[in-house]
Amino acid sequence: MADKALLKEFEAIVGADNVMSAEAETHAYSYDAAVLDSVAPAVVVRPTETEQLGAITALCNKHGLPLTVRGAGTNLSGGTIPSKGGVVVLTGALNKILELNMDDLYARVQPGVITAKFAAEVASKGLFYPPDPGSQTVSTLGGNVAENAGGLRGLKYGVTKDYLMGISFYDVNGDLVKSGSRTVKCVTGYNLPGLMVASEGTLGVFNEITFKLIPPPQAAQSMMAVFDDVLDASRTVSAIIAAKILPATLEFMDNFTIRTVDNFRKAGLPTDAAALLLIEVDGHPAQVAEEAEKVEKICKEHNAKSVEVAKDAEHRAKVWQARRDALPALANLKPTCVLEDATVPRSRIPAMMEALARISKEFDLTIGTFGHAGDGNLHPTILTDKRNEQEWHRVEKAIDAIFDEALAMGGTLSGEHGIGLAKSKYMEQETSRATIEYSRRMKKSLDPKGILNPGKIISALLD
């Protein structure tokens, strides 16, 4: 419970209705979607105007209070888990789309706007905002920037950072920093939007974000290819790219995931298949027709048992519902679901699939694998029960082994889930001691008291 004088200070900024400190209220903000211990904050504040963010940040800095900004709390690496005695700032009420500019193809938004709602609003104006993280129906755009959220369309359309044109944010003193522009080209000063992306709330508190929008593809075609052999499926992925086709989405599901999804929602999936590829090509209608035909041919050349082409919108929706069901279906099976996102160059996916099979066997664990095969970003998902200490120990060993494999293949620890609290101990293995020290010096200069989302990325190593 926070001290009364302090609560008064927060109330003076956001109003008494928007400050919470009772345990029953703060508990809801003590965890996120990562499998990590929860930590209840001392205070939760809910600003209703972005201007209040500056005053909140300055107040936290004055008192040395840890400040964690929280959008929807869907983070998978503990980025939204607050610090003991700290402050959680909710962005839910900062949910205005400030401008959708059709002539200049950009949008300005507050940080609490929900991703899918924004994408739908953009679509209703005839434009396209491609990033589609799995949590898009609840995740916020501020959170997406803080984590550089990815999604299914990464291969062809890129990730959140590829749409970030400008940002304004409050520094620890509560002063407003502005960088980037409403123009595609802007080199006025350091690329601070580039620095804010993936910074996990550790370098500033976002005030307003400018995103690039693009014209939507005119047509799309979805397909489901069924394989008897996981390696045939993963080799197909490389063959499609080698044919110079960049599908909008190119997703993979292994047999375990297929069966679990089919059990979750009777979807009529081929439960005896070793693997499925779910593929969508998009663009000009003529290009879509050609590419769909080529993709079908490539799948068959790689021993696909069948390639089902979606006949209509309903059929297409069914294909993608199966993919979207993967995580909830798997998560339903066991008390604890560890969703990893180690990423490899896509030509190494066959090798990664073999490694995952080996790791699953070695540590006697159930691993369901699905994910964004097209950009090498698989989601091996370990199903377990954290209360089973012996098994949990094996899970930790398996995660280490997955990271070792990904790095040995020229990949990365995290494609889209972030480092947060969960992976900071692995950072040096992928980068270098000098990288950690460089980041540490930068962080320290921009947040001398270490109040901005402490412990995330490399902050745990701050002296």
Residues numbered 428 to 447 that lie near a copy of itself (CB under 8 A) are 430-435, 437-439, 441-442, 444-446
**Closer by beta carbon to a copy of itself, 93 or else 105:** 105
Whether residue 177 contacts residue 170, with contact meaning beta carbons closer than 8 Å, is answered with: yes
Rounded to a whole number of angstroms, the minimum distance from the CB of residue 399 to a copy of itself is 15
192 binds a copy of itself (CB under 8 A): yes
Two structure tokens written together for 145: 């920037």
Residue 366 CB, nearest distance to a copy of itself (Å)? 25
What residues numbered 234-263 form the site for a copy of itself, per CB under 8 A?
Answer: 238, 241-242, 244-246
Question: Beta 106-109 vs 87-90: how paired, if at all?
Answer: unpaired
Instruction: Provide the minimum distance between the beta carbon of 417 and a copy of itself in the complex, in angstroms, as a whole number.
Output: 7
Burial 124-134 (b: 16+ CB within 10 A, else e): eeebbbbbbbb
| Closest separation in Å from C-beta 429 to a copy of itself | 10
Closer residue to a copy of itself (CB): 43 or 240: 240
Q: Which of residues 19-58 bind a copy of itself (CB under 8 A)?
A: none
The residue from 376, 380, 450, 455 that contacts a copy of itself (CB under 8 A) is 376
Alpha helices in 36-108 (DSSP H): 51-63
Could you say whether residue 287 binds a copy of itself (CB under 8 A)? yes
- The nearest distance, CB 253 to a copy of itself, in angstroms, is 19
- Of residues 301-360, those binding a copy of itself (CB under 8 A): 343-347
Q: Where are the beta strands (DSSP E) in 59-156?
A: 67-70, 87-90, 97-101, 106-109
CB-based contacts of 23, cutoff 8 Å, min separation 6 = 1, 40
Per-residue contact string for residues 134-173; x = within reach of a copy of itself by CB under 8 A: -------------xx-x---xx--xx-xx--------x-x
* Neighbouring-strand partners of residue 428: none
**Residues near 30 by beta carbon (within 8 Å), at least 6 away in sequence:** 38, 39, 40, 41, 81, 82
Polymer length of the chain: 463
In whole angstroms, give the CA distance from residue 23 to residue 315: 47
Q: Whole-angstrom distance between the N-terminal and C-terminal Cα of the chain? A: 28
Q: What is the maximal distance between C-alpha atoms in the chain?
A: 71
Stretch that binds a copy of itself, among 58-66, 261-269, 352-360, 418-426 (CB under 8 A): 418-426
Half-sphere exposure of 299 (CA within 13 A, CB side): 24
- CB 267, min distance to a copy of itself, A: 27
| Segment interacting with a copy of itself, rule: CB under 8 A, options 21-29, 84-92, 257-265, 408-416 | 408-416
* 43 or 278: CB nearest a copy of itself: 278
286 lines the binding site for a copy of itself (CB under 8 A): yes
CA distance 246 to 438: 36
Using CB under 8 A, which residues numbered 58 to 117 contact a copy of itself?
101-106
Site string for a copy of itself, 197-226 (x = CB under 8 A): xxx----x---------xxx----------
Cβ of residue 64: shortest distance to a copy of itself, in angstroms? 18
Distance of CA 386 to the CA centre of its chain: 23
Map the footprint of a copy of itself across residues 265-284, applying CB under 8 A. Answer: 283-284
**400: contact with a copy of itself by CB under 8 A:** no
Rounded distance between C-alpha atoms, residue 144 and residue 134, angstroms = 11
Q: How far is the CB of 121 from a copy of itself (least distance, A)?
A: 17
Report d(CA 284, CA 149) in Å as an integer. Answer: 27
Instruction: Determine which helix (DSSP H) or strand (DSSP E) holds 277, and give its type and residue range.
Output: strand 275-283
Closest CA to 398 of 352, 365, 349: 365
In the complex with a copy of itself, the residue whose CB is nearer, 347 or 366, is 347
Among the candidate windows 224-232, 254-262, 285-293, 390-398, which touches a copy of itself by CB under 8 A? Answer: 285-293
Q: Which is nearer to a copy of itself, 11 or 430 (CB)?
A: 430
30 or 140: CB nearest a copy of itself: 140
Alpha carbons 11 and 5: distance in angstroms, whole number: 10
Tell me the C-alpha distance between 199 and 453, whole Å: 10
Contact between 293 and a copy of itself per CB under 8 A: no
How many residues contact a copy of itself, by CB under 8 A? 94
